[in-house]
Amino acid sequence: MQYLWTHIKALISSYNGSVPFAHFIRNYTRQHPKLGSRDRKILTTILYSWFRCSSGIVVPQGVAHPFEVQVLACLRACAVSGPTYDKLFAPFDIADNDVPLLQPEMLFPHPLPLSDGITQDQWLLSMTRQPQLFIRVIGNKVKVCNILSENNIYFEEVSTSCLALPNGSAIDKILPEADYAVQDASSQHTGTFFSPAAGQQWYDCCCGAGGKSLLLMAQQPAVRLTVTDKRASIISNLKERFTRYGYRRPDALVADAADAVSLANTLGTRQFDNIICDVPCSGSGTWARTPEQLHFFNSEVQQKFPPLQRAIAVNVSRYLRPGGRLIYITCSVFRQENEDVVEHIVANTGLKVQHMQLINGISLRADSMFLAVLQ
């Protein structure tokens, strides 16, 4: 197992969080072809456990093999065990009382208040477990469930269209791509606040690859939809997804919603009944999926989000018809990106809050999201 320890140490020392770890380890294993798919899975599990917990593990002085003890403590805090890991630590003969417990309060020593609806302890403890895989069933649900059962893939029904599966389930090899979309349960739950009617004008101002837009179309394909994103490649991806699922393509435009001039040049005099404003954010409600973002948290980067969010929300609110609604969404748990931004929107527009909540997905092993409906 010594070769695995060599790579564990190399990965920890060389990775700095600047790119997603999934991309980094893919490139790393390409450079080390002796590492097979099984090795890559083991290394990913160990590194993710390290990102989740190492900053909350304090190894007492005088303990032999302090680095290996810290790695073992991270794995135990994340409930990772098995014969492979027993073999990995066997040469060090580590006593149980030498393995320290996780101190969750040390995982995020930053003074950032959380939104109402989630506690610091809840949020930090959720970082020790990989969330489940969630899919939104678009095609025949009975057919999808039968295929999963026939392939011995366990699933639970979260709602009429949402299924929860073990993370890493290889569904792309067995399910027709037009029959489902990978989408977190909390993200799907935001759609319960859309309530679209046929013929309404809707606008998704930061559409990305179209997750919320597709959620909208599943409810009412007869809405008239406009989407914008500042990345042309993302718009192209969205169009392909609409075609895949058999929906009429929206009016898809390239524009930066944070730039009032760019938005005016693109939208002109258009007015909308509803605007989905799923803004860029820290993603702190999703960090259990990508724990490297917790480990390498940069407060200077995070501070750039609230001004951007405020600008986007105020800019797009000008395109609401009288009585129209702005649906503000983040995948952050930080009050600064959530309630504080909503207060700014209210203070700088004619909008009033109809509903506001943090969608706490921890009990489902899902992401957590924030949503506010303003009219």
Residue 103 per-residue DSSP state: -
Angle (CA) 273-275-280 rounded to 5° is 175
Partners of 174 in beta bridges: none
Instruction: Yes or no: say if 285 and 369 are a contact pair by the CB < 8 Å rule.
Output: yes
Burial of 237 (0-12, 13-18, 19+ CB in 10 A): middle
DSSP secondary structure letters along 261-286: HHHHHHHTT--EEEEEEE-----GGG
Q: Cα dist. 119→131, 308, 372 in Å?
A: 18, 26, 19
CB count in 10 Å sphere of residue 45: 17
Assess contact for 164 and 133: CB atoms under 8 A. Answer: yes
Which parts of the chain are beta strand (E)? 133-137, 156-157, 162-165, 180-182, 201-204, 224-229, 251-254, 272-278, 320-330, 353-359, 369-374
Rounded Cα distance between 57 and 67, Å, is 11
Residues 6+ apart with CB under 8 A from 215: 136, 183, 187, 188, 190, 191, 194
Alpha-carbon distance 159 to 166, whole Å? 17
The one-digit pLDDT tens for each residue of the chain (375 residues) are 889 999 999 999 999 999 999 999 999 999 999 999 999 999 999 999 999 999 999 999 999 999 999 999 999 999 999 999 999 999 999 999 999 999 999 999 999 999 999 999 999 999 999 999 999 999 899 999 999 999 999 999 999 999 999 998 999 999 999 999 999 999 999 999 999 999 999 999 999 999 999 999 999 999 999 999 999 999 999 999 999 999 999 999 999 999 999 999 999 999 999 999 999 999 999 999 999 999 999 999 899 999 999 999 999 999 999 999 999 999 999 999 999 999 999 999 999 999 999 999 999 999 999 999 999
Count the neighbouring beta carbons within 10 Å of the beta carbon of residue 17: 16
- Do residues 307 and 315 lie in contact, with contact meaning Cβ atoms separated by under 8 Å? no
Q: Can you spell out the DSSP letters for 303-337?
A: TTHHHHHHHHHHHHHTTEEEEEEEEEEES--BGGG
Q: What pLDDT does residue 139 have?
A: 83
Q: Which of 363, 272, 374, 264 is nearest to 313 (CA)?
A: 374
Look at domain 185-374 and name its CATH class: alpha beta
Q: In the CATH scheme, what is the code of domain 133-182?
A: 3.30.70
Pairing of strands 369-374, 353-359: antiparallel
Spatial neighbors of 278 by CB under 8 A, at least 6 apart, are 204, 206, 207, 208, 212, 329, 330
Q: What number of residues does the chain have? A: 375
Q: What is the pLDDT of residue 1?
A: 80
Q: What is the pTM of this model?
A: 0.94
In 175-295, which residue ranges form alpha helices assigned H by DSSP?
A: 185-189, 211-219, 232-244, 260-267, 292-295
- Nearest-10 Cα torsion for 27, 28, 29, 31: 90
Closest CA to 128 of 107, 109, 98: 107
Helix, coil or strand: residue 225 = strand
185-374 and 133-182 share a CATH fold: no
Domains of the chain, residue spans:
2-107, 133-182, 185-374
